Chains A and B, each alone.
Chain A
Amino acid sequence: MNKLHRYFLKRLFYSIFVLIGLSIVIFVIARVVPGDPARMALGPRAPQFAVDALREEMHLNNNLPTQYFYWVKGVATGDLGKSLVTKRNVTEDIKEFLPATLELVALSAVFVIMFSILFGALAARHKDKWIDSLIRVMAYTGVAMPSFVLAVLFLLFFGYIWPVIPVLGRLSAGLYAPPTFTGLYTIDSLLVGDLEVFWDALKHLLLPALALAVGPLFQEARIVRSSMTDNMTKDYLASAVAFGMPDRVVMGKYLLKPSMIPAVSVMGLDIAAMMGNAFLVEVIFNWPGISRFGMEAMLHKDLNAISAVIVVFGLIFVLVNILVDLIVAYLDPRIRLGGGV
């Protein structure tokens, strides 16, 4: 086992620890709120015997640590409790709503990667020229626009003034969701070869994904730009050229790749920002994802649903960060070869 493997095992171990800690924090937050969850679930007129039975079923008569134990046991077996809003098991809700959010965040991530490299490299290439200044101004504005503001402005513009792109929901009326394999409409529709649904789903994704992507995109672009301009002055680049390597190899392997390291390292944070902002953007675009569900749950103090959503996001976030570390390790030979961890 080399150093890298050990590093990732350690990382994984910490992540599990962090998730357990997170679950305790969430559980405590959810349980200190006043009110009887069983009574809330059944309504004010439900007969007392049914409420008592439900209390027993939910282990509410036990002390807090025991309740936590049962809750974790439930989480491990996929039983996250009943939602107050949808009146069914939260696991069902998550299964139904999570894919829509993943699809959204995934497309945003694609936008972020593509455009940040494009803008970053463009700015570096034309350093201190008008393109560089233009991109810098765009970056300032883009970063200062919260995604919910962008979303609202998109809605105003593309919803009413220039309605060329659909602004609400996942599919146009009259089209029905493709059979569920992944829950991602774009992928599912391609799997069954339904191009009409594919294009429609993609169009519906465009604006919300863009609203999420703009902030992180420009931040990344600035990082790409500055690390590229830094690396351009490095000696190894000159040596590579001196050895007669083709331009493409020089640029790809010796300039772009190392320049990506700092950008990729903050990618984890960007994904976090996007997942958080998805909460507002989904509400604005009427996007039936887990964030909108979570938002609804928060406004209704639907504690089981809040806990579940936070745990799911924590899990995704931890996984994304491990993935980001892997990519950085791949890009950075010092880490990959076990030197600088």
Chain B
Amino acid sequence: MENYLKRYRGLTLIGLLAISLVLVLAGCGGGGEQDKAPGADGGGERIIRISEANVPNIDPGVGSDYSDSIALANIYDTLVFPNHDGTTGPLLAKDWEASDDGLVWTFNLRDDVKFHNGDELTAEDVVFSVERMLALGEGYSYLFTDVLKEVKALDTYQVQFTLEKPFGPFLSTLVRMCVLNKDQVMENIQDGPYGDMGDYGKEWLITNDAGSGPYMVEELKKQEYLRGVKFEDYWGGWDEDAPEAFEILGTTSPSTIRTLMTRKELEITDQWQTKEALAALNDLPGVEINGAFTGTILNIMFNTKKAPTDDIHFRRALSYVFDYATVAEQLFPGSRKARGPISESLPGFNEDLQPLERNLEKAKEELAKSKYADKLDEYSVEAMWMTEVPDEEKVALLLQANAEELGINVDVVKVPWLSYVDQVAAMETTPHAGLVFVSPHYNEAGSILEPRYHSRSTGTWEQGEWLQDPDIDAAIDDAIGTIDTEERLAKYAAIQEQIIELAPTIWSFDQAEERAYQASYIHWPAAEKIKNGEPATAVMGYMYYFREFKVYPDKK
């Protein structure tokens, strides 16, 4: 009967169809790529594309991570602006003055600022934005919650802040207070838990902006990208080579990044690429690596309220056994050993502190003093690292191998970022050790000390220690309440020594934030400054203030 099949022409037909489909697809694939040679399409656009761990939350009341901060800096204006030299200069506010006790701050606004929809920006909008941020209690609001007492509009272009208590770094924290268009937000509120304010426009602001910044949101595709385009009428004006658009891509997948960089479809990578990936990217023509010390430290945060890491000698033992040199030299070449909780590059760093070193003898000594010394097998230390940051795994496994030398059992657990944030919200669920990169929110040691070690910030991702030490709390409050800058910085220095004494954390290394970028056709001011040994802004997000960038598409 098989001969019937042999005569079956339909079969040949299907075969031809299937094969031709694949060939056509593959053929077009080849052809298509050639079409897409440099300059074909998209090549001519002056655009900066940057990858980040996630597509940003562009609601100024909600966003606070790296990706969010980049987006907000470009879409919204703030009263003041963080300059590259570390000072805080004017932006929406022309000038300002503070009362002698540092409690009352009055800002005079520019009168030529338009929102993206053409509305004029006035003091009312500033007041609304502050109230909204405090009501939501999310994002950067913690910088203001315990500080601000009242904010009011004195005049169309004058706004006054009254503080609860003196707060030295108040001015620098204002770079985290984006100004929204009140009328536009109020037109778009929906039902929600905030009483008269409904949802405070949260739903609408997920994919829309109500800002006055140099770029306007064109499209936000969840899980893919945020695309912003130039706001032609920006009050500050434009350089002709400035980017016409920017995109923040929500992926750090090395294969994606590699492909996009090769095809020049990405201008700046995220900072989470591994050492190996960066080395490969560096080999691409025209690509360079920018390494900047932005005050970021990889912390191994011990939960000081949970056995066995509640014992100070146990913590010290781990701190001494940790191999700092391997991390700084082998794992993250270009970085440096940490010298305590504050990075060397942050104003307020204690210059007397020395780089941390491994010392097996001292580690054993400390462990012997620990109350867990003779029952190590009953306890194990759970160390969590973040799925999004694969390099952390190397440090976690190093800690594990080091601890093994003391007979301490470390379990390494990988956890997605948002889950970690959820777990540190309660002391019981906070792991013994959490590996978290922390960057300063404003350019001063206080911006690390307060969220990292003050009791107010327990339960947030920035403090996995649950330190709750009244002396430290008082010292931090005292320092940030000091108006005189020099005095304030001196107080910060003293606190660092106090904290090191308690060994709540292993400060594993002082990170050089490394990103690959297309040096051949973009001009990135911060990278240039770093290359020339000049200071560049360390305030999170502001190295990527795209208005000051330049793009030369013809050099691709």
A residues near B, CB below 8 A? Answer: 35, 39-40, 42-47, 49-50, 52-54, 56-57, 84-88, 93, 96-97, 114-115, 117-118, 121-122, 124-125, 127, 155, 159-160, 163-169, 172-175, 199-200, 202-203, 206, 228, 232-233, 237-238, 241, 247-248, 250-252, 255-256, 286, 288, 292-293, 296, 299-302
Q: Find out whether the CB atom of B206 lies under 8 angstroms from the CB atom of A87.
A: yes
Q: Chain B 248-273 against A: per-residue CB contact (8 Å), 1 yes, 0 no?
A: 00010101101110010100000000
Q: Find out whether the CB atom of A174 lies under 8 angstroms from the CB atom of B43.
A: yes
State which of A44, A115, A122, A159 has its C-beta within 8 Å of the C-beta of B421.
A44
19 more CB-based (< 8 A) A-B contacts, given A45-B138, A251-B7: A42-B137, A53-B193, A57-B192, A86-B223, A87-B62, A114-B21, A125-B5, A168-B256, A199-B28, A199-B32, A200-B32, A203-B28, A206-B25, A232-B1, A233-B1, A241-B4, A248-B8, A250-B4, A300-B419
User: Which residues of B have CB within 8 Å of A174?
Assistant: 36, 40-43, 45, 265
Stretch of B9-17, B159-167, B328-336, B511-519 at the chain-chain interface: B9-17
Q: Find out whether the CB atom of B9 lies under 8 angstroms from the CB atom of A248.
A: yes
Q: List 10 A-B contacts (CB under 8 A).
A: A43-B137, A46-B137, A50-B137, A125-B2, A202-B25, A232-B2, A241-B4, A247-B4, A251-B10, A292-B223
Q: Find out whether the CB atom of A114 lies under 8 angstroms from the CB atom of B1.
A: no
Q: Find out whether the CB atom of A165 lies under 8 angstroms from the CB atom of B26.
A: yes
A292→B221 CA distance, assembly (Å):
14
User: Which residues of A have CB within 8 Å of B142?
Assistant: 45
The chain A residue sitting closest to B54, CB to CB, is A85
State which of B7, B36, B259 has its C-beta within 8 Å of the C-beta of A168.
B259
Top 10 A-B pairs ranked by shortest CB distance? Answer: A174-B42, A53-B193, A165-B29, A125-B5, A173-B265, A174-B41, A232-B1, A46-B137, A251-B8, A300-B418
User: Which residues of A have CB within 8 Å of B5?
Assistant: 121, 124-125, 228, 232, 251, 255
A173→B263 CA distance, assembly (Å):
10
| Nearest-Cβ distance from residue B419 to partner chain A, whole angstroms | 6
Q: Find out whether the CB atom of A125 lies under 8 angstroms from the CB atom of B8.
A: yes
| Nearest-Cβ distance from residue B95 to partner chain A, whole angstroms | 32
Q: Find out whether the CB atom of A163 lies under 8 angstroms from the CB atom of B33.
A: yes
> Does B554 sit at the interface, judged by CB under 8 A?
no
Q: Find out whether the CB atom of B416 lies under 8 angstroms from the CB atom of A299.
A: yes
Q: Find out whether the CB atom of B194 lies under 8 angstroms from the CB atom of A50.
A: yes
* Central interface residue in B2, B145, B202, by most chain A CB within 10 Å: B2
| Nearest-Cβ distance from residue A305 to partner chain B, whole angstroms | 11
Q: Find out whether the CB atom of A118 lies under 8 angstroms from the CB atom of B11.
A: yes
* Central interface residue in B6, B25, B62, B206, by most chain A CB within 10 Å: B25
The chain A residue sitting closest to B34, CB to CB, is A164
The chain A residue sitting closest to B219, CB to CB, is A176
User: Which residues of A have CB within 8 Å of B535?
Assistant: none
Interface size on B, residues (CB 8 A): 66
A109→B296 CA distance, assembly (Å):
49
User: Which residues of A have CB within 8 Å of B22?
Assistant: 206
A174→B35 CA distance, assembly (Å):
12
The chain A residue sitting closest to B202, CB to CB, is A87
A143→B136 CA distance, assembly (Å):
52
A50→B138 CA distance, assembly (Å):
11
A96→B222 CA distance, assembly (Å):
9
> Contacts A46-B136, A173-B260, A299-B419 given: A164-B26 contact, CB under 8 Å?
yes
A39→B421 CA distance, assembly (Å):
12
| Nearest-Cβ distance from residue B55 to partner chain A, whole angstroms | 9
Q: Find out whether the CB atom of A122 lies under 8 angstroms from the CB atom of B11.
A: yes
> Contacts A50-B194, A84-B418, A168-B259 given: A247-B8 contact, CB under 8 Å?
yes
State which of B10, B45, B206 has its C-beta within 8 Å of the C-beta of A248.
B10
Q: Find out whether the CB atom of B10 lies under 8 angstroms from the CB atom of A252.
A: yes
A63→B69 CA distance, assembly (Å):
40
A56→B258 CA distance, assembly (Å):
47
Q: Find out whether the CB atom of B29 lies under 8 angstroms from the CB atom of A203.
A: yes
The chain A residue sitting closest to B418, CB to CB, is A300
| Nearest-Cβ distance from residue A92 to partner chain B, whole angstroms | 8
Q: Find out whether the CB atom of B194 lies under 8 angstroms from the CB atom of A172.
A: no
A165→B32 CA distance, assembly (Å):
9
Q: Find out whether the CB atom of B36 lies under 8 angstroms from the CB atom of A50.
A: no
| Nearest-Cβ distance from residue B552 to partner chain A, whole angstroms | 18
